[in-house]
């Protein structure tokens, strides 16, 4: 994609197809996955896997909203049918392939007990997060670790609702500052809702951590960045180098603070807000200045490759870790990492080649 921004940020000329490459984004996806992977291998005391999920959410909000902006700026409308076709062909084929493999193998091999039909339908209908909140992991195929699908449920709920919100913002021709204020208000209300649940005694991590209603702001902060100060569509904010370095320092400090401060109420409430705001600054700078020394490594071909496979890696890695630890009786975390990573990578690459790429070609044929 090439974007040409005139002196006024509102005048954007974009010449692109619906899919384009944004600097640093694949690298950030790769880092997100690695955080989750290392935590699931057993280093969760030292590696913040939850932060990896939050970064995934933020990037999803930013990317999807950017795509919506590009389409609206180019055509003056959003083709909702094409939007959902693109999202469905991007997300659902690997999702359902692995879901059927998990439940089918459990039934045939009997390796995880007898999986329950209600658990299967909850996952197939993208309600994994609320099923876990109210039923724990009962009925899931344990050896295939499909509980991680909870985060995909949150994103699917977002994909259903957000295009309508985006069209409402455009229908009333709201300027960027007003859009920023409205979406920030929604994020503030989500924070208030988390505090309310905590006051009511809902201190179980799953309720706050996995609920769409309690984690929506993690995606919305990415949406705010895409609408308000999009580093590839809008004129730069006019920050000099010193000010940009200060923003990066404050954003990084905010992230680190949320990792070292262990207060339970803080961790289940304002932590997500601080992380969301901090990630806005980091994503903005990483996309705008991909050649900065602190971001250059994000654009390496290795991380770009991992980022391209990050979705399928996320889907398969936990099951691979589970099988490696259980079948080989490996207690060493380092050994789990050494064995699980290449296996996960191989499976993900095969899924990418034989499922994701053909679906990508079909997606382009159906929506171009």
Share of the chain above pLDDT 70, in %: 92
Of 337, 310, 338, nearest to 27 by C-alpha is: 310
Is the pLDDT at 299 greater than 50, yes or no? yes
* Integer CA distances (angstroms), 211 to 152, 187, 205, in order: 11, 14, 10
| Unique residue bearing structure tokens 């999202």 | 87
- What is the residue extent of each domain of the chain? 29-367
Helices (H), the chain: 25-38, 49-75, 80-109, 117-124, 128-135, 150-171, 176-199, 205-210, 212-228, 241-260, 264-267, 270-288, 301-308, 310-327, 333-351, 357-367
Average pLDDT value over all residues in the chain: 90
Which H helix or E strand runs over 12?
Answer: strand 12-15
Is the pLDDT at 126 greater than 80, yes or no? yes
Give this prediction's pTM.
Answer: 0.91
Band (208; pLDDT cuts 50, 70, 90): very high
Phi-psi region at 328: left, alpha or beta (left = phi > 0; alpha = psi -120 to 50):
alpha
Band (110; pLDDT cuts 50, 70, 90): low
Contact 139, 115 (CB under 8 A): yes
Highest-confidence segment of 12-21, 28-37, 108-117: 28-37
Band (115; pLDDT cuts 50, 70, 90): confident
What 3-state class would DSSP assign to 334? helix
Band (235; pLDDT cuts 50, 70, 90): confident
Phi/psi of residue 3, nearest 5 degrees: -120, 135
pLDDT given at position 262: 85
């Amino acid at each position: 994609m090439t974007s040409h921004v005139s002196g006024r940020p509102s005048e954007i000329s974009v010449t692109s197809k619906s899919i384009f490459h944004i600097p640093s984004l694949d690298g950030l996806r790769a880092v997100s996955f690695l955080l989750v992977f290392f935590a699931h291998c057993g280093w969760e005391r030292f590696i913040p896997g939850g932060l990896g999920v939050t970064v995934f959410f933020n990037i999803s909000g930013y990317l999807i909203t950017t795509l919506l902006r590009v389409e609206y700026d180019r055509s003056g409308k959003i083709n909702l049918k094409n939007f959902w076709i693109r999202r469905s062909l991007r997300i659902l084929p690997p999702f359902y392939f692995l879901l059927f493999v998990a439940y089918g193998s459990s039934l045939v091999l009997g390796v995880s007990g007898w999986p329950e039909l209600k658990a299967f339908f909850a996952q197939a209908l993208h309600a994994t997060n609320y099923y876990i909140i109210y039923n724990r992991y009962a009925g899931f195929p344990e050896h295939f670790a499909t509980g991680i699908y909870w985060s995909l449920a949150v994103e699917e709920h977002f994909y259903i609702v957000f295009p309508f919100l985006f069209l409402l913002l455009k229908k009333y021709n709201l300027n960027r500052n007003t859009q920023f204020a409205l979406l920030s208000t929604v994020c503030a209300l989500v924070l208030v809702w988390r505090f309310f649940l905590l006051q009511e005694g809902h201190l179980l991590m799953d309720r706050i951590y996995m609920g769409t209603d309690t984690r929506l702001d993690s995606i919305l902060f990415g949406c705010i960045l895409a609408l308000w100060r999009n580093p590839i569509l809008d004129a730069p904010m006019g920050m000099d180098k010193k000010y940009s370095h200060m923003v990066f320092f404050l954003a990084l400090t905010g992230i680190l603070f949320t990792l070292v401060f262990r207060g339970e109420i803080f961790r289940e409430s304002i932590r997500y807000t601080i992380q969301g705001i901090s990630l806005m600054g980091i994503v903005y700078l990483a996309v705008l200045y991909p050649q900065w020394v602190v971001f250059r490594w994000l654009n390496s071909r290795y991380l770009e490759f991992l980022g391209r496979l990050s979705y399928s890696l996320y889907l398969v890695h936990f099951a691979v870790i589970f099988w490696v630890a259980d079948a080989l009786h490996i207690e060493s975390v380092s050994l789990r990492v050494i064995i699980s990573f290449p296996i996960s990578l191989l499976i993900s690459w095969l899924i990418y080649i034989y499922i994701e790429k053909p679906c990508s070609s079909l997606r382009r044929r159906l929506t171009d």
